[in-house]
Structure 1
Amino acid sequence: MQEINPLIQQLAQEIAASSKTSPTEAGRSDQAGPQRARSSTEKAALVDALNEVFALFRINYHNQFYKAYSDSQVLAQIKKLWFESLQQFEPATLLRGARKVIEESEYLPTLNRMIRACQGDPESVGLPDARTAYIEACTARSPKAAQSWSHPAVYHAGLASDWYFLANNTERVAFPIFERHYVRICEKVMNGMELPHPNAPSLPATIETPLSKEENQQRLSELLKTLDM
């Protein structure tokens, strides 16, 4: 793991402190989308990833970087802002987004450009958009695992959201929950994770049908004969 410089360590401490004093969750950003609380270990991993992102920018945009961030205090504030706005993403996503920006642009990226790079293009890897995925999950018949899904991510998002919850709540209530799970799963897929395919319940080797009253009586008679009764 790359060593975290004092400025970044200070950044993490400031954000941890602000989460205790502010009624708004630390790191919340309307631009960044769904969030969840992170442990101190997860935050440290994100800080380390962000530190590596800025190191990549420094190497690839050398003159631009030093011109934009010549003041160490300004750089610390920029990193704090980026941390707050990007902490919805996994560390691997930050690095993927940074590489995408470097490959596609000759200019030092803005925060908005970095967010879009981290979000990526789910449809490019066969993932439907969240709304389409939600409709597919809600209209799928049972057993869910036996259905033909456009992508395993849709099934796993439905499973994580709870099928009963999706079926018994309005879209206004259910869709945000589904979307949160789906976005998180899509992020993992775009980072290279292969999702397991749904496990459909296997059919028994033989299917028995109930015996009629007459057949039951006949079997009972045969059993009694074998017992000499």
Structure 2
Amino acid sequence: MRPADEIARRVAEQGALPTLPENRQQVRLSQHDLDLVNRLFADLKAICPAWRREWPDAAAMAIAKQQWTKTLVESGVSSVEQVEHGKRVCRARTGREAAFVPSPGEFAGWCWPEPQELGLPPLEEAYREALRNSHPASIGHERWSHKAVYHATLACSRHSLMTLPGDTSRLKFTKHYRAVQKQLLNGVVLADPPPANQKALPRLGDPAKARSALAAMRASLGGAAQ
């Protein structure tokens, strides 16, 4: 086993976290990633007095950094703003558990603010709005409560929202709604939806126009046959 000081040195100097036995592929981190994780762990040590129970030595802390980094990446957490939100939630805890370090998965969940905190409609409400505005009868008459809902709907595609099974459709919308939330957290200014009379979302073929074109085609073919 490698000495603890060697592991700590590699984390500090090379930006490479040690590999675990079940995963021999080394995780390479940018300097930004490394600084973000190191600052997070330093703050967690200040927030959670009982941190030594989870990280008793440098080797345990280095391995924990690898696991936390994987969890944050897999959860879509990569910005300073998201991590700061997670730390605020961690500081706000009360009771006995407040002294202990949260699990990586729990902390990753704290990094995502509720939509309402950003002035957005709740997820389920936004999803129902996306479905309603994706229905063919609504095209050209959409009403958007927030442009974030419009952009998440556009990213999903109206066809997917209307044709995928309910659970799959909801998961897809959730993914894109979170992506838009992350943009807002990073200071991105979203474009306004186009006016309703410009048909904000692509529309499928109009059945009435299709019937009219088919009738005209038949008439033309009938005249040619005479």
**Superposition TM-score, scaled by structure 1 size:** 0.61
Distance 1:160 1:180 in 2: 10
2:84 to 76, 95, 116: 95
1:104 CA displacement: 4.5
Q: Is the CA contact (8 Å cut-off) linking 2:147 and 2:192 kept in structure 1?
A: yes
Query: What does the per-residue CA deviation read over 1:48-91, in whole Å, with 9 as the maximum and x for residues that have no partner?
Result: 31221112223444x53456423111111211221122212122
Where in structure 2 are the equivalents of 1:83-162 lying within 5 Å?
Answer: 83-87=69-73, 88-92=76-80, 93-104=82-93, 107-111=99-103, 112-140=105-133, 141-143=138-140, 147-162=142-157
Distance 1:179 1:67 in 2: 35
Per the alignment, residue 5 of structure 2 pairs with: none
Identical positions, percent: 22
- 1:119 is paired with a residue whose SS is coil
Per the alignment, residue 71 of structure 1 pairs with: 57
What letter matches 2:101 in structure 1? P
Per the alignment, residue 16 of structure 2 pairs with: 10
Per the alignment, residue 53 of structure 1 pairs with: 40
Please say which structure displays the higher CA radius of gyration: 1
Query: What does the per-residue CA deviation read over 1:19-70, in whole Å, with 9 as the maximum and x for residues that have no partner?
Result: 969xxxx9xxxxxxxxxxxxx77x6543431221112223444x53456423
What letter matches 1:10 in structure 2? A
Structure with bigger RCO (C-alpha 8 Å, 6+ apart): 1
For structure 1, the 5+ residue unaligned runs are: 27-39, 204-229
1:170 to 153, 165, 168: 165
Distance 1:116 1:134 in 2: 20
1:115 CA displacement: 2.6
For structure 2, the 5+ residue unaligned runs are: 1-7, 199-226
Per the alignment, residue 216 of structure 2 pairs with: none
Distance 2:23 2:158 in 1: 37
Q: Is the CA contact (8 Å cut-off) linking 1:47 and 1:83 kept in structure 2?
A: no
Number of residues of Structure 1 aligned to a counterpart in Structure 2: 177
- 1:78 is paired with a residue whose SS is helix
Q: Is the CA contact (8 Å cut-off) linking 1:49 and 1:95 kept in structure 2?
A: no
**Superposition TM-score, scaled by structure 2 size:** 0.62
